[in-house]
Amino acid sequence: MADAATIAWTPRGSWAGILASGEFGTAGQPGVTIEARDGLGIASLIAGDGRDEALAQALQGHIGLGLPLTPCIVSSARHSLVWAGPDQWHLIAPDRNGFDELLRDLAPLAAISDQSDGRAALRLSGPKVRDTLAKGCMLDLHPSAFPVGTAALTSIAYMGVHLWRIADDPASGDAVFEIMVARSMAGSFWSWLSASAAEFGCKVTATGRG
């Protein structure tokens, strides 16, 4: 009897087969720059009953960050915590080194779900980034209404997204946004985003695995 076939599974980034590095749309200086954010460590945290303060203290001890209690993002050199609803947050790391160990340490204090392979994230910047997002986002993204550090759960082109604004580009001063969607919606979201950005010219950097 022949041995059963062995299947080798190769990890693929969230945007593999969807994004390709390069430029498209109107020629000239790109108005929008898009960077794939593959390989992140992402976990949802839901505080247990009466455990908010204990969870906050544990996070302060482990990563030096307190829990944001309003729709915003707080960041250190290596981690970010993004408000995701009452008593809910997303913990994000630039890679997964030590991420499992961190989640195990926090597990007694919160309901934790590792979302690293279930989410797809992008970083958007450029002088026309707000014009692009305005084609599908109902939020007012003007700096006076959506300053650096603000986060929101909203929809873009009828797709649920988690959106936040990080520090402006130090070279150009342009606003920088990060967007996270369910991985299953990555293709549909890219279809909308690429069509919306093409008018302004777009530069894409596809990074990470895959």
The per-residue pLDDT string of the chain (210 residues; one tens digit each, 9 = 90 and over) reads 455 667 767 778 899 999 999 999 999 999 999 999 999 999 999 988 878 899 999 999 999 999 999 999 999 989 999 999 999 999 999 999 999 999 999 999 999 999 999 999 999 999 999 999 999 999 999 999 999 999 999 999 999 999 999 999 999 999 999 999 999 999 999 999 999 999 999 999 997 543
Amino acid 11: pLDDT:
73
Domains of the chain and any CATH numbers: 22-38+118-205 (3.30.1360.120), 41-114 (3.30.70.1520)
pTM of the model: 0.92
Closest CA to 131 of 32, 2, 24, 15: 32
Amino acid 7: pLDDT:
73
- pLDDT tens digit string along 140-158? 999 999 999 999 999 999 9
